[in-house]
Structure 1
Amino acid sequence: MELKILFITGIFLLLISGCTKKNVDGFAEVIPVVEIDGLVNDTSFLDSASLFIPETKQNALIHGADRIIENEDRFLILDMEMKQVLGYAKSGKHLFTIHAVGGGPGEYVNLFDMAIDRQAKRLLLLTYPPAIQYYTFDGVYERTERLEAIYKSLAVTDQYIYLRKETYANNHLSDYSLLAIEKEIGHRHSLWKPLPEIAPFCTFGTMSMTGNDPVYLTRKFDNTIYATKDGLIEEGYIIGWGDKAFPDTSGKRTYTCEELNEICRENKYVYTMTDLCDMPGYLLFRTNQPGLCVLSKEKKEVKNYHLVMNTDYQLVMPNFIPVEGGGGRIFFVYPSDVLKMSVQADGKHPNDNLSCLLEQISEESNPVFFSYFVK
């Protein structure tokens, strides 16, 4: 009789577990990190170097590049500081600017993110008041879909729209981090219980979620890179930072941003991974420490390149940013005024390539984008 009861109980528990959705699935292996100190030539791991110099116009002034999407023959640039999206041909010719700041229909007060729905052939903007605004690929407004909460990041796949939520506000932790919307039927479900917040409002980098399929996402004080699959989240890669991993405090104390930056600077701790760029053989990202991280999916290792030298222009590359939908393209962004001043301060005569580039720009010009593909 006892065996029968245990058997029935076991079957019941099995059925219950089989019908319950888990927020995070899978067990990822730990990927070791190899530090590449000193100056590394771009040609050692990058290829197809070129320049993208966006046209400078009164209605096309780029103050910052927070997300970049390559869509067919053009680049789309999200500039959160100026609350705008700019469209450029790959030649650099300006095509359109979306800057619909206001309180009327089709307007917004703030702009947080953008993504491409390649299936529907639409550009989506994530705005405040909370909404998703739909545009054509030529920057023509179509409609607004209201949201019930404030979200800060947006990703679109063939089946889902994913919205990343701020998890800490008014001294309270949210009960979820991610909202998944099934595009076909509109069903919504929340995912991913937040970690305890030990450094409120401290951020680094730009985006902690990629915008297209597969959607990779990260969070502070977590060494795992996650991926979405069928409306759920699974572990993708666990990065083995070793003694550079931020020590686990288990929520026992909190840090101010100044304290966090100081302890990470002194101990070279890594507490966040951002600006992920997925490609067939690699996954690129950066951290709160200097450098560009390249994860080889085949070799199962991460190489952290501290300084990258552009050999054509003899320049150290700053400000890495991925290009969504670019087939593995990445940009390094150099503000024109900083570029000209750094060359002057260096005191050395620039080579022919750099001299030619400096003649094309002024200190008021839009940034220069150094383009590469990973070998």
Structure 2
Amino acid sequence: MKKTATLVIIIIILLSCKKESQINNVTGAKEIDMTIGRNSKNFCELVDDIKFIRLETSEESLIGTIERVKIENDRIFVHDYKTQSILIFSYPDGKFLNKIRSIGNGPGEYTGVFDFNIIENQDCVMILDGNLRKLFKYRFDGSYVSSKRIPFFSRSFLYLDSQNLLFNNYSLDDKKYAYKAIITDTTLTIKNSFFEIERFYSFQMGHGNQTSKRTDDSALFLPQNSVIAYKVTKDSIVPRYFFNFKDRWNEDILYQKADGFDSFVFNIKKKELVYGLGMNESTNFIIADFWTADLRHLVVYNKNNENLNYINNTKNGFVNNKFVPKGYYQDYLLTTLDHEHIKRALTIDKDCYFNEKAKKTVDNLNDNDNPVLVLTKFKN
């Protein structure tokens, strides 16, 4: 009984909200007016170029659920959430090359893929297992190389440069390392940390804690439950973008205690608040996606002319709730669509110039074939 009471107290503390200002200091950040629905356009109007790549389907390369995609060194790397695998295809023809999958608790085995990155000039993939708190290194052929233990919990990471890594850390069973951003060297020794975590959220909502490479020695970091994205180097973290949703954003509600997940979502929907903000950045564009109620919004922001457009969400068109950004390659947004989605979109978005490309891509695709990789470049 005593243990139960103690556990309840701990949970209440973890779900409690410590009062802070809603928006932190954004001095120096580029403010982006995110007024919902402004400058809405159809997907076809905004696209400059689009590519459809069929990912080869075989018994060994069958994909369950695509979590994220990276393209590097003329290879496509797909994180399959369902099978907890990294599948490797050739770029741009989509031919299957190999799969990295080593599930278990033995030497060289991981329990789950939380994130992965490609190690340049080594033909190796580094896999983060948040459960085991380890980084695993595998060659492209799937063979195990090494593993290192991380002294904190993290869900994503990347290399700032050849000597420094950036981790996000938002779950806390060790207050000593409770920071939103942690910098380590290649031995995983902590060198720097930013944003001590003082508030805990009731439920994990949306993307958050995203990291994306910007230059050779910096990254863009979007913390959990934040509308401020930061530029991170090994020595500093400064506000880079402020996504201003005005009265549609209420950070505090994301930290309030809730009776359950359904009631938590109900409160957000009732107030018509924004949640689940995610973003991808390329040289010329920022693609932001987020939710209000049951609707996913997709926003294209041109960094050169500061023009922002909302893409109309159509139930059966190319852009709907299933059109989820998976990453960026050069100036192309990466998404994946199943062939039924594309076929339906062809009948809805009839005026899209790229319909012929799509038709050729989905010809002869079967229900069990892998999703199609879609690379979208927006107009400057």
Measured against the shorter chain, the TM-score band is 0.7 to 0.9
Asked if 1:298 corresponds to 2:304, the answer is yes
Asked if 1:194 corresponds to 2:207, the answer is no
The whole-number CA distance in structure 2 between the counterparts of 1:215 and 1:84 is: 25
Residues 195 and 268 (structure 1 numbering): CA distance in 2 closer, same or farther, change over 3 Å? Answer: farther
**1:155-166 alignment, distance < 5 Å:** 155-158=158-161, 159-166=163-170
Shift of 1:303: 3.1
Unaligned runs of 5+ in 1: 1-23
Are the counterparts in 2 of residues 205 and 288 from structure 1 also a CA contact under 8 Å?
A: no
The whole-number CA distance in structure 2 between the counterparts of 1:320 and 1:202 is: 18
Question: 1:106-152, CA deviations, whole angstroms, 9 ceiling, x for partnerless residues?
Answer: 11112110012336553211014221112334544321112223321
- Rg (Cα) greater in structure: 1
1:131 aligned partner: 134
**1:171-182 alignment, distance < 5 Å:** 175-182=178-185
The alignment partner of 1:261 has SS state of helix
Residues 41 and 141 (structure 1 numbering): CA distance in 2 closer, same or farther, change over 3 Å? Answer: same
The whole-number CA distance in structure 1 between the counterparts of 2:347 and 2:143 is: 44
The alignment partner of 2:264 has SS state of helix
Shift of 1:309: 10
Asked if 1:224 corresponds to 2:224, the answer is no
1:42 aligned partner: 43
The whole-number CA distance in structure 2 between the counterparts of 1:206 and 1:191 is: 16
The amino acid that maps onto 1:49 is I
Could you tell which deviates more after superposition, 55-64 or 91-100?
55-64
Could you tell which deviates more after superposition, 315-324 or 59-68?
315-324
Asked if 1:88 corresponds to 2:89, the answer is yes
The whole-number CA distance in structure 2 between the counterparts of 1:268 and 1:222 is: 17
Shift of 1:41: 3.3
Residues 206 and 87 (structure 1 numbering): CA distance in 2 closer, same or farther, change over 3 Å? Answer: farther
Are the counterparts in 1 of residues 75 and 90 from structure 2 also a CA contact under 8 Å?
A: yes
Are the counterparts in 2 of residues 34 and 304 from structure 1 also a CA contact under 8 Å?
A: no
1:373 aligned partner: 377
Are the counterparts in 2 of residues 162 and 181 from structure 1 also a CA contact under 8 Å?
A: yes
* Aligned residue pairs, count: 341
2:325 aligned partner: 321
The alignment partner of 1:152 has SS state of coil
1:284 aligned partner: 287
Could you tell which deviates more after superposition, 253-262 or 242-251?
242-251
Residues 130 and 319 (structure 1 numbering): CA distance in 2 closer, same or farther, change over 3 Å? Answer: same
- Normalised to the residue count of structure 2, the TM-score between the two structures is 0.77
Are the counterparts in 1 of residues 35 and 244 from structure 2 also a CA contact under 8 Å?
A: no
The alignment partner of 2:270 has SS state of helix
The amino acid that maps onto 2:264 is L
1:331 aligned partner: 334
1:272 aligned partner: 276
Shift of 1:373: 1.4
2:103 aligned partner: 101
State, as a whole percentage, how many aligned pairs show the same letter. Answer: 17
Residues 201 and 82 (structure 1 numbering): CA distance in 2 closer, same or farther, change over 3 Å? Answer: farther
The amino acid that maps onto 1:72 is N
Shift of 1:232: 2.6
Residues 160 and 374 (structure 1 numbering): CA distance in 2 closer, same or farther, change over 3 Å? Answer: farther
1:141 aligned partner: 144
Are the counterparts in 2 of residues 176 and 190 from structure 1 also a CA contact under 8 Å?
A: yes
Shift of 1:370: 2.1
Unaligned runs of 5+ in 2: 1-24
The amino acid that maps onto 1:292 is L
**1:3-18 alignment, distance < 5 Å:** none
Residues 185 and 112 (structure 1 numbering): CA distance in 2 closer, same or farther, change over 3 Å? Answer: closer
Residues 352 and 228 (structure 1 numbering): CA distance in 2 closer, same or farther, change over 3 Å? Answer: closer
1:7 aligned partner: none
The whole-number CA distance in structure 1 between the counterparts of 2:40 and 2:368 is: 30
Are the counterparts in 1 of residues 230 and 239 from structure 2 also a CA contact under 8 Å?
A: yes
Residues 98 and 148 (structure 1 numbering): CA distance in 2 closer, same or farther, change over 3 Å? Answer: same
1:5 aligned partner: none
1:19 aligned partner: none
Q: CA RMSD in A?
A: 3.5
